[in-house]
Amino acid sequence: MDEKIRMDCSRETKVSGRRRFRVLLVCTLLYVVVLSVSVFMYLPDLFDRNAWSEMGVNIFLWRLTVSLLAWIWSAVLICILVRMHKGRGPFGGEISLGMYITGAGLMLVAFLFPFIKGYTIEMGLFIQFGEYFTIDGFPFVIGLLCLILGYVLRIGVGYQKEMEQTI
């Protein structure tokens, strides 16, 4: 009864679609970088000519916000590409950090933008405390959902690391 049991405990697992994911990731990264650069390229011109008043306060502020968030997500996508290039999985703490920053930024925007003269709440969703304190409800809810999703991603990445260590 001399049986030999062989167990393969290597961490190398073949994941299908990795190349397609990288191509999609690089295309998304290029688009996000072009989006963020395009807004920052015209920003000094907008302040010099005072063109933001012609464009509208809402459009100007939201373009600036989307550009800042695009820079953050550019950094997150670059971190994911680096992780994949090193042979590790695409999911790490960068995604949850990006979601936390996005959620906190959108919640901050929801508090600050209503105080800017000329800003109007267009979605009809707002939270008002008293006469003078208004919160733009749409970015507030989206920011809250981003914070929740960031927490869920952080927990998932923690479980993934724990499972990799036990195997």
In terms of domains, do 72 and 123 share one?
A: no
Query: What is the span of the domain harbouring residue 35?
Result: 17-90
Going residue by residue through the chain (167 aa), what tens digit of pLDDT does each one get?
Answer: 566 666 655 555 555 567 788 888 888 888 888 877 877 777 777 666 666 666 777 877 888 888 888 888 888 888 888 888 887 777 778 888 999 999 999 999 988 888 888 777 777 667 666 666 778 888 889 999 999 999 999 998 888 778 777 76
Query: Where does a domain end: 90, 108, 131?
Result: 90
Report the b/e string of 56-80 with b at 16+ CB within 10 A: eeeebbebbbebbbbbbbbebbebb
Number of domains in the chain: 2
Q: How far apart are CA 70 and CA 64, in angstroms?
A: 10
Domain boundary among 90, 109, 134: 90
Residue 3 lies in a domain: no
The answer as to whether 85 is a domain residue is yes
pTM: 0.74
Asked which of 32, 65, 90 is the last residue of a domain, the reply is 90
